[in-house]
Amino acid sequence: MDRLAFSTKKSYRTHLGHWVKPKWGEHRLEQVRTMAVEQWLRDLLLAPRTKVHLRNTLHVLFECAVRWELIKDNAISRVRQGGSRLAEPDVLTPDEFHSLLKELEDDRVRTMVVLAGCLGLSRSEFIGLKWSDFNWAAGTLTVQRGIVHNHVGKTKTQARRKPVPLAPELVRVLEQWRVKTPYCADSDWLFASEFKNGAEPYWPDSLLKHFVKPAAVRAMITKRVGWHTFRHSYRSWLDETGAPLTVQKELMRHASIQTTMNVYGKAMTDTKRQAHTKVVELVLRKSVKSEGNVVFVPALI
């Protein structure tokens, strides 16, 4: 378990303690049969994706048993469990994102939302950022860590540690925040909590509850808004820019990268930067008419 991310360990413990052990804890390994597990999953009143996670946890457990030669066959390999979402995740339009930003008066929270929306960062990633993670000369960010329940650990996958480009507008937003925060040294957390004298970052769920969700209500956004909404929205906005799927996977930092993507990943730096810049322009700039001409004005400046 030491090599696993904290969030993965926590998920395994939850799955094993709440569902697997109460049902199968008294059974011998060879007594756990494929169809019996399928029936058990079918009867659970849980979301399909949660059932997939349970199935996968069992599969990992039985793979360990096979490797340790306790059993010869992994019965969970043949367990079928669909993972279709019960509902499609909500994504924001650029106009809705603009409206939300206008309602966020707190600079720190607005900067969080901008990072989540313009880079597709997850909650654990943007909370775990330090100023040293940015290469200002190259205009890139490399996510070095993730924070889950105030526990600092590795990123979800190695792919999440790949550098991502920073558009000039996004750099300006970050520079503005660095001027305003008292914790601006390279070793400081990007969103250090003054309540902890900068030793720890803020709790993102608290900020979501007290700032982001009320702002969404004021902006008359009826969709469900959570931190992961911005990552889903980022993927949707990449589609709008016409970015190739391979570039989207690079910018999203997905782990399921095929060999061709690994081979050409370094060669597509300019393409990645162009796609990222288009997203930032899409959500941070607004077009206004000036003397009959359309000009672009940064929405946050």
Q: Are 120 and 237 in contact (CB under 8 A)?
A: no
Low-confidence winner among 86-90, 91-95, 268-272 (lowest mean pLDDT) = 268-272
Q: Indicate the pLDDT class of residue 236, thresholds 50, 70 and 90.
A: confident
Can you give the pLDDT at residue 215?
A: 97
Q: Are 282 and 97 in contact (CB under 8 A)?
A: no
Strand-pair category, 293-298 with 285-290: antiparallel
109 Cβ contact partners less than 8 Å away, ≥ 6 residues apart:
207, 211, 212
Residue boundaries of the structural domains of the chain: 6-78, 94-298
Q: Indicate the pLDDT class of residue 239, thresholds 50, 70 and 90.
A: confident
101 Cβ contact partners less than 8 Å away, ≥ 6 residues apart:
110, 113, 114, 299, 300
94-298 and 6-78 share a CATH fold: no
User: DSSP letter string over 74-86?
Assistant: -GGGG-------S
Residues 69-85: what's their mean pLDDT? Answer: 88
Helix (H, G, I), strand (E, B) or coil at 165: strand
Residue 233 to residue 97: CA distance in whole angstroms = 9
Can you give the pLDDT at residue 56?
A: 93
Residues 230-244: what's their mean pLDDT? Answer: 85
Query: Torsion angle, CA of 2/11/119/153, rounded to 10 degrees?
Result: -30
For 6-78, which CATH superfamily applies?
Tyrosine recombinase, N-terminal domain (1.10.150.130)
Q: Indicate the pLDDT class of residue 58, thresholds 50, 70 and 90.
A: very high
Can you give the pLDDT at residue 72?
A: 93
Q: Are 182 and 160 in contact (CB under 8 A)?
A: no
Residue 117 to residue 97: CA distance in whole angstroms = 8
Can you give the pLDDT at residue 260?
A: 26
**pLDDT tens sequence across 241-280:** 888 877 888 888 876 644 223 323 344 456 677 788 888 8
Give yes or no for residue 213 having a pLDDT over 80: yes
Nearest to 234 by CA among 138, 167, 176: 167
Q: Indicate the pLDDT class of residue 288, thresholds 50, 70 and 90.
A: very low
Residues 224-228: what's their mean pLDDT? Answer: 94
For 94-298, which CATH superfamily applies?
Intergrase catalytic core (1.10.443.10)
Count CA atoms closer than 13 A to 86's CA, side-chain side: 7
Q: What is the mean pLDDT of the chain?
A: 86
Can you give the pLDDT at residue 128?
A: 95
Can you give the pLDDT at residue 84?
A: 64
**pLDDT tens sequence across 174-195:** 999 999 999 999 999 999 999 9
Note the helical H segments in 32-106.
Answer: 34-43, 48-67, 94-103
Q: Indicate the pLDDT class of residue 295, thresholds 50, 70 and 90.
A: very low
Residue 240 to residue 253: CA distance in whole angstroms = 18
Give yes or no for residue 33 having a pLDDT over 80: yes
Residues 136-157: what's their mean pLDDT? Answer: 89
Can you give the pLDDT at residue 264?
A: 30
Strand-pair category, 293-298 with 134-135: unpaired
Give yes or no for residue 287 having a pLDDT over 50: no
pTM: 0.73
- Beta bridge mates, 207: none
